[in-house]
Structure 1
């Protein structure tokens, strides 16, 4: 799992990043909201830990962007104790809220709980545009009917749908769909992407797989 840590306080940023890495998470660090959004143009993350008080794009505004544009879960960090700030944070779309100072154990517990919830959707359903993917029955539905596809294609489509509209790197696709010990070449991904595109053109024309050159792919709704 990859986590984006955002804080203009370098001491706190280092503390959060270090604790997360020691637990086994991969961490991307940003010292501003602007830098965080720049990273997300080419990187895939599963959750963001965001400080509230930052110059420029503050934590509340960044949270709104992360939720609306990237569908990312967010934990907000603040040194303030006012209930109004908590209300504002949850109104912006944050999933949880931690008041500084906090124990590393508390942060790690909340990160784990949120990742578990987001990576196991309720009712095992993923929806992107007219496309609905049932993770339990392996059925794919749209307004045109029902579709069954080979398992690797299904796993690839489900991964793109789970991360949509984020870009998913080719390395992340290989590790998630084929496993870290995969011995094939990247052409395998290209072949599966081509097949999925052909299926979606006929089955769910409002949904498409976009290539982000040099990075990977993303699933997005057309129009």
Structure 2
């Protein structure tokens, strides 16, 4: 799946330049100018990595806030000012940054650091996933329930595979539309809901089977 990056920087020119370069290298980029906007996006879209220039935003991501549900462990790369020194870098690491890059940013170095951080935090996907009576063979693209093969359409399989990466986690609708269908902006669509309905019909073979659980107002998870 395409990695999603949250780019939080108050300078439109910086955001625009980095968004163009990162998108051309295959990333899905979410932009925010200020901390509050960035936190809302982090909660709504659950990015794979955050690039930010505000130390306070890094700290708030790590500490969390009452009633907010963003991933507090999301990796963060700080984009520090040109005049930053060793004290600034140490302070950033103490507040939760995973890496630090000083301005002016050299794009090739930033890209290498992003990929390195993502490699460290992303365990390789299991080739075969078993969740109760459900088995998913990613390489063969074969799904079975109670030992019986279930035939899925392409996007149905991709949706199921996405949910199976963390079967008990709630994936937001925006997150699934981005990762499975490649939507680059938030939009109203019944695409996800219709695929979920068909997926349930195919997977739930016996009384008591309950897959692709709807969490009202948020999204879906594979199982309770």
TM-score normalised by the chain length of structure 2 = 0.60
Contact preservation (8 Å) 1:124, 1:136: yes
3-state SS of 1:69 partner: coil
Partners of 1:111 and 1:129 in 2: CA distance: 35
Aligned residue pairs, count: 200
1:172 aligned onto 2:174: no
Aligned CA-pair RMSD? 4.5
**5+ residue gaps, structure 2:** 184-188
Q: Is the 8 A contact 1:80 1:100 kept in 2?
A: no
Work out the CA distance in 2 between the residues paired with 1:147 and 1:68: 37
Aligned to 2:215: 210
TM-score normalised per structure 1: 0.60
**2 CA distance for matches of 1:33 and 1:131?**
41
Residues 192 and 175 of structure 1: CA distance in aligned 2, closer, same or farther (over 3 Å): closer
Alignment match, 2:5: 3
Structure 1: runs of 5 or more not aligned: 180-185
Give the Cα–Cα distance (whole angstroms) in 1 for the partners of residues 213 and 29 of structure 2.
29
Secondary structure at 1:22 match in 2:
helix
* Equivalence map 1:144-223=2 (5 Å): 148-151=149-152, 152=154, 153-162=156-165, 164-169=169-174, 171-172=177-178, 175=181, 189-197=192-200, 199=203, 202-203=208-209, 208-210=213-215, 212=217, 217-219=219-221, 222=224
Larger Rg: 2
The structure whose residues are more often helix, as a share, is 1
Deviation at 1:48, TM superposition (A): 1.7
Cα pair 1:126 1:134 within 8 Å, conserved: yes
Are 1:34 and 2:40 matched, yes or no? no
Matched, 1:136 2:136: no
CA–CA separation in structure 2 for the residues paired with 1:167 and 1:64: 21
More deviation in 126-135 or 68-77?
126-135
Match of 1:15? 14
